[in-house]
Structure 1
């Protein structure tokens, strides 16, 4: 008998033998260790221990452990339990999005079905219907996939799904639910502005009430909620650093400053010399406004709730108007319409973020640094900027080709 076959068998100090094993059964680890047989007698020979080990492994693989009785619940009941017990600490926008997917789509289609009766094929057909038939965006259809994983995970943790069903739905790579194959003509998620468009945008925003927000989008790649939630005390001109630690949101019809969606979104962004110079000038203008428009600013200021629940003045926000009136995440809508009508530019503030990321990726910024600057929770998201085909990237490619 070869040494390979005798793996797991070992000799004791007294000359007798023992065995150990560790196997996986239905995704669960089972271990065993013995130095005596069923009658309490020691294994006198290596062969005895080996045979006993073989029998123990067969028994472990075939023996059915007593399991709790599976409780049957509908998809609706599981979702409601998740809402009551599993959403503590979730971001406000995440909760709103989940509620929207449920109320507008999933409730009617799956709500009354028992969770243990829903099949992989049924979900795959539904995702394909959303993406191919209804023409939903790939990323939007993907949000449904995440919801299914979430609800099935909730059901399994509460013993509404047995392990085999859960493995088939969510774990086994050969059977688990997944997104349909992406269309060949699917547009990239990375939409950016080219050089001509950026020049037009520079000219358009200069001197407008949205210039500061534009500069933050162009040179920092911040999200629009982060931009309008930025406070003056988070700008460190001496060290050239902007701290992003909160965002502006409408919640129940009220403007609030709330926590960022993910931990990685809290970050320090390094300013380029142009942006630093811009803010140095803006600080001087603010001093002027405080003197010349003091009465207006006091009258027009708005008090909003900050992260910890205390009320703060809109005068502490970077993007408030000179006369003290607050600007919100909706302030860009007018400019988007104007740019579309007068310049034929499909302007979304988030595209400034894409342009920032694509430009830095083309300039070979280390991926981990760009991931940090943009506040991505996953480097896989950042990687999209490195594989996006941009105008600037093509220019660099052509330069490199001339050197071949």
Structure 2
């Protein structure tokens, strides 16, 4: 901003730019309330002289505010108006169990990057890389808030070191073989959760997205299904709310096997409803209408994942699949691994990354590309066959 003297209301003010001798950053000092231009100019000259004689007088000083106080202010004045409730709940959990427990009563400016790094590295013995990085990311959110509000003169977040990402071997181990998938599907076929498994296997949706699917999302003519929402536990009730990200809202093409399975399932559910009559359960579920809007209750939502008696299934139900797969199939099952498996299958079958990204609803391209980094021997052989074929054609030509 330009240095000047100007009129503000019935008085005058001055503005000068000063450089913090420690950080090297410029900031503006402005003072008002002077009755005349001459008085404002004299005060401005005096301030400039003060800065020359005592540069430290313009240094941004750390404020004696604790990390706990920064967190509380961030949630009350910012997050509740700008973040989803599920995100705020995650923040609360991370702060309560880790960040706040460790440094909540400390002045935020005194917390060193080295001690944060040591804490994150120590967690590798008990927690996943993804969970550790979620803590790291939230620390960045709080540090950025504190720095922008001038609660500390130096943001040391970039100095924090983090553990390395999971190795490629760990990544590959999350992919199920066709034999494992068939074995689990055969065992799950006698449960109410077979539909959720089939959808996860065929479409690679997230577990919350799967249980948020409704029959109205299916376009029978186009052979597609829309992912528009997810089912979450919120405010002590199961609720349908926005997807994880905007990119997660997507239309997925249905291959024949899952298309005709869903078509038969729809008819079967209609028959069950008629057959049960008044005994068929009438369900209700909350609908999240967005920030600052009250939830509404919807009677008999047309959810795809239902029990035979009409009760809806939730993401908690997927935990049953873990137990059955472990006890009866000797397979470590996690619903999200169906998503990994589907993405890897697409990569191995040379589906363009941009198509995979859209089908899975990834926000970032790098998330999709990591599946293409684990090229199988079959893909290498296929590539060589194509290259050798082209070479033969060139020779013949």
Aligned pair 1:80/2:72, yes or no? yes
3-state SS in 1 of match to 2:205: coil
Provide Cα deviations, 1:260-288, integer angstroms capped at 9, x if missing partner.
22111111111112111112222222332
Task: Name the structure 1 match of 2:152.
Answer: 161
**Correspondence for 1:262 among 216, 230, 245:** 245
Task: Name the structure 2 match of 1:71.
Answer: 63
**Correspondence for 1:380 among 356, 366, 370:** 366
Cα distance in 1 for partners of 2:190, 2:381 equals 37
Task: Name the structure 2 match of 1:215.
Answer: 198
Deviates more, 1:198-207 or 1:234-243: 198-207
Q: Where do 1:50-61 residues align within 5 Å?
A: none
What do you get for the CA RMSD once the two structures are aligned? 2.9
Aligned pair 1:301/2:294, yes or no? no
Q: Where do 1:5-404 residues align within 5 Å?
A: 66=58, 70-88=62-80, 89-131=82-124, 134-162=125-153, 165-166=154-155, 169-170=156-157, 176-181=159-164, 187-188=170-171, 191-297=174-280, 300-308=281-289, 309-388=295-374, 393-400=376-383
Cα distance in 1 for partners of 2:212, 2:107 equals 44
Contact 2:285/2:301 (CA < 8 Å) preserved in 1?
no
Q: CA deviation at 1:152?
A: 0.7
Cα distance in 1 for partners of 2:106, 2:233 equals 35
Cα distance in 2 for partners of 1:204, 1:286 equals 21
Task: Name the structure 2 match of 1:9.
Answer: none
Q: CA deviation at 1:303?
A: 0.8
Structure 2 CA distance for partners of 1:206 and 1:357, relative to 1, 3 Å: same
Cα distance in 1 for partners of 2:186, 2:147 equals 56
Deviates more, 1:253-262 or 1:183-192: 183-192
Cα distance in 2 for partners of 1:86, 1:234 equals 34
Q: CA deviation at 1:314?
A: 3.9
Structure 2 CA distance for partners of 1:396 and 1:68, relative to 1, 3 Å: closer
Q: CA deviation at 1:318?
A: 0.6
Cα distance in 2 for partners of 1:220, 1:328 equals 18
Contact 2:184/2:329 (CA < 8 Å) preserved in 1?
no
Cα distance in 2 for partners of 1:287, 1:184 equals 48
Cα distance in 2 for partners of 1:157, 1:137 equals 31
Contact 1:190/1:385 (CA < 8 Å) preserved in 2?
no
Cα distance in 2 for partners of 1:194, 1:186 equals 15
Q: CA deviation at 1:188?
A: 2.3
Unaligned runs of 5+ in 2: 1-20, 28-54, 290-294, 389-397
Contact 2:231/2:240 (CA < 8 Å) preserved in 1?
yes
3-state SS in 2 of match to 1:248: strand
The TM-score with structure 1 as length reference comes to 0.75
Contact 1:235/1:241 (CA < 8 Å) preserved in 2?
yes
Q: CA deviation at 1:27?
A: 8.2
Unaligned runs of 5+ in 1: 1-24, 31-62
Task: Name the structure 1 match of 2:44.
Answer: none
Structure 2 CA distance for partners of 1:111 and 1:179, relative to 1, 3 Å: same
Provide Cα deviations, 1:211-257, integer angstroms capped at 9, x if missing partner.
22112101111111111111111111111121111111112331111
Task: Name the structure 2 match of 1:59.
Answer: none
Aligned residues: 337
Cα distance in 1 for partners of 2:354, 2:384 equals 27
Structure 2 CA distance for partners of 1:208 and 1:112, relative to 1, 3 Å: closer
